[in-house]
Amino acid sequence: MNLLLFGPPGSGKGTQAQFLSVEYRIPQISTGDILRDDVKRATPLGRQAEVFMKRGDLVPDELMVEMIRERIRRADCSGGFMLDGFPRTVPQAEALDQMLDSIGQRIDRLLSLHVDAEELVTRLTERWTCPSCSLTYHPASNPPRDDQRCDADGAGLIRREDDNAETARRRAQVYFERTYPILDFYRPRGLVVEVDGNGPIQEVRNRVKVALQGEPRAA
């Protein structure tokens, strides 16, 4: 299964990706997580990306395309993969098609999560993130077992630099202007599955599971 995850910032892509990665036994490739790791290590890519990420803007296409080209060639993707956060622009979608064509693969499904605008800002500004493994937590809907520590590795949880209200709104705006329209790029292929991402995490998980089992259809 080669799966694409779409949805505005805070819609729960990373949260649902954890379940799907286990369910389908495919790696979750989060471009945001890869970029944040590069920023932390001050690599050439990280140094170039940081300024865009801080503002809530997209990192230039050519950097992102090269990152994904290198990532999906790795052995762990041979049985399928899940892209969380890529493609985000039409040129990225076109480049992904070419990459997959050249290795005889294709996208099987695109899962698009829909969440109300104000709920998105609340989720992001209250989110806690593990700097070590990137798991996310929320005090009301998904609290860690031990206050302020990651359940998986015990690391102290942090707030992402772009999880303030102003940058969260900017990220949402960028999503609706530049990323949401590319659903139309995939719709004619009958790949798009739309799911209501409002409500408790477990309920959304069940909706996603059912939706991916059936044929692609609108929510």
Per CB under 6 A, does 207 bind ligand AP5? Answer: no
* Residue closer to Zn ion, measured from CB, 139 or 181: 139
Q: Which listed option, ligand AP5, Zn ion, none, makes contact with residue 143 (CB within 5 to 8 Å by class)?
A: none
Q: Which of 21, 132, 142, 164 binds ligand AP5 (CB under 6 A)?
A: 142
Q: Which listed option, ligand AP5, Zn ion, none, makes contact with residue 11 (CB within 5 to 8 Å by class)?
A: ligand AP5
Q: Which of 21, 105, 125, 132 binds Zn ion (CB under 5 A)?
A: 132
Decide if 159 is catalytic. no
Q: Name which of residues 144 to 203 contact Zn ion (CB under 5 A).
A: 150, 152-153, 155
Decide if 127 is catalytic. yes
Q: Closest residue (Cβ) to ligand AP5?
A: 32
Q: What is the DSSP string of the chain?
A: -EEEEE--TTSSHHHHHHHHHHHHT--EEEHHHHHHHHHHHT-HHHHHHHHHHHHTPPPPHHHHHHHHHHHHTSGGGTT-EEEES---SHHHHHHHHHHHHHTT----EEEEEE--HHHHHHHHHT-EE-TTT--EEBTTTB--SSTTB-TTT-PBPB--TT-SHHHHHHHHHHIIIIIGGGHHHHGGGT-EEEEE--S-HHHHHHHHHHHHHS-----
- Site of interaction with Zn ion (CB under 5 A): 130, 132-133, 135, 150, 152-153, 155
